[in-house]
Amino acid sequence: MKRVILVRHAKSISHGYDQDYDRTLTERGEEDAQTISIELQRLTIHPNLIIASPAVRTTQTARIYAQTLNYPVNKILFEKKLYSGKSVENFLLMLQELEDEKETVMVIGHNPTVYYYIHYLMHNFTDDVPTCSTVAIDFDVERWSQLREYQGEMAFRFIPDMFR
């Protein structure tokens, strides 16, 4: 089995869109990322790889998740195209090229592309994807190269409102 965990970055400052790349997390965003990553830790989730957009808010979210889940922060892989909007087809191709010894991969990005990725990986996904949404999708395959669109099954979905 292979698992993809898609995370939309946590709540960030709402002003400064002219410098969107540099927007930082709010205090609430930091708390939400901590809360949901602690829930993942409670479920003994251990990603073998974390891939994140290099924007400041996704980097901050990735670091919080990594620290909570005992993943080495210096091993986070930053993918520029996750910021600029990697197509769903290219996203699937990126996953298909992963090393097979990795079982669980976490990808931290932005909306609307996180929503598009989730929708492309599993059939009939219609839920909202608010900030810090964390959705795990399981695939009944042995190799990443076997992943296909709409073949995933949701293992869990966490949003900050579930913990307030």
Q: Is a pLDDT exceeding 70 seen at residue 32?
A: yes
pTM over 0.95: yes
What domains sit in the chain, N to C, each tagged with a CATH number?
A: 2-11+21-163 (3.40.50.1240)
The mean pLDDT value for 124-129 works out to 92
Structure tokens at 11: 């709540």
> How many angstroms separate the CA atoms of 76 and 39, rounded?
20
pLDDT at 84: 86
Q: Is a pLDDT exceeding 90 seen at residue 2?
A: yes
What are the backbone angles phi and psi of residue 136, rounded to the nearest 5°? -100, 130
Query: 18 or 8: whose pLDDT is higher?
Result: 8
pLDDT at 59: 98
CB 29 within 8 A of CB 131: yes
Using one digit for the tens of pLDDT, what is the confidence trace for 137-160? Answer: 999 999 999 999 999 999 999 999
Q: Which residue has the tokens 């190269």?
A: 145
pLDDT at 109: 97
Q: Tell me the DSSP string of 75-136.
A: GPEE-THHHHT--HHHHHHHHHTS-TT--EEEEEE-TTHHHHHHHHHBTT------TT-EEE
Query: 19 or 146: whose pLDDT is higher?
Result: 146
- Give the CA-trace dihedral at 148, 153, 159, 164, to 10 degrees: -170
Res. 16 pLDDT band, cuts 50 70 90: low
Angle at 77 between CA 97 and CA 148, to 5 degrees: 30
> How many angstroms separate the CA atoms of 18 and 20, rounded?
6
CB 164 within 8 A of CB 36: no
